[in-house]
């Protein structure tokens, strides 16, 4: 039997999210789902999947846990590697949270299959590099990316199959 004890959890930037002196406090959870079909001929670059959610921050210096899902992503008649990403817009500034463009960018290992596609999930923890005050409206966007295909068109939520894309954002403070 093994026992693991930790007195601190940090995000990738070294920011302390949880330690033995405090507890995580969820401030709000927002989510949106759409069945809108999106098609693209863009490869090795992420683009908006027409699935976004806005929230007005409750806390000061909050962190955000983001979850994305798509029920169907792929290409017609060929194999296509696909992935999900996230961005956030604060005022007129949009910041990519996850999803790296280019041939040496993200891992596009999810085979979208032929004609019907594959379902994908992705989640990430985002702790902003700069302070975000309370009462600030942020818009979180679900992004899709495809690495390669021979048909030229990648689809998300291909009609008429009634698939969906979902983005959920949880704001929390330590």
Q: Each residue of 103-117: pLDDT tens digit?
A: 776 666 666 556 567
Tell whether pTM > 0.85.
no
30 located within any domain: yes
Q: List the one residue out of 78, 75, 71, 61 whose CA is nearest residue 27.
A: 61
pLDDT attached to residue 4: 46
Residue numbers in the chain where pLDDT is lower than 50: 1-5
* Structural domain includes residue 15: no
Q: Is residue 33 part of a domain?
A: yes
Expressed as residue numbers, the domain containing 144 is 22-173
State how far the Cα of 154 lies from the Cα of 82, in Å rounded to an integer: 9
| 5 falls within a domain | no
Mean residue pLDDT of the chain comes to 82
Residue 14 counted as domain residue: no
Location of structure tokens 């405090």: 22
Pairing of strands 137-146, 46-56: antiparallel
Does any domain span residue 13? no
DSSP 16: E
Residue 162 backbone zone (phi > 0: left; psi -120 to 50: alpha; other: beta) = left
Is residue 17 in a domain?
A: no
Total number of domains in the chain? 1
The whole-angstrom separation of Cα 115 and Cα 11 is 38
The residue behind tokens 């962190």 is 63
Q: How many CA atoms lie within 13 A of 90 on its CB side?
A: 14
> Domain of 62: which CATH number?
2.60.120
Cα–Cα dist 40/73, whole Å: 11
């Amino acid at each position: 039997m093994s026992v693991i004890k930790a007195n601190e959890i940090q995000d990738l930037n070294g920011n302390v999210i949880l330690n033995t002196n405090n507890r995580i406090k969820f401030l709000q959870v927002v989510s949106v789902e759409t069945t809108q079909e999106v098609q693209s001929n863009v490869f090795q670059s992420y683009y908006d999947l027409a699935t976004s959610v806005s929230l007005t921050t409750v806390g000061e210096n909050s962190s955000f846990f983001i979850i994305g899902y798509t029920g169907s992503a792929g290409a017609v008649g060929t194999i296509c590697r696909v992935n999900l990403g996230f961005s956030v817009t604060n005022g007129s500034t949009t910041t990519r949270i996850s999803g790296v463009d280019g041939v040496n960018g993200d891992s596009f290992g999810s085979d979208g299959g032929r004609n019907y596609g594959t379902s994908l999930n992705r989640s990430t923890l985002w702790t902003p590099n700069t302070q975000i005050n309370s009462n600030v409206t942020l818009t979180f966007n679900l992004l899709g990316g495809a690495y390669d295909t021979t048909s030229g068109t990648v689809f998300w939520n291909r009609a008429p199959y009634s698939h969906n894309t979902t983005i959920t954002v949880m704001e929390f403070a330590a």
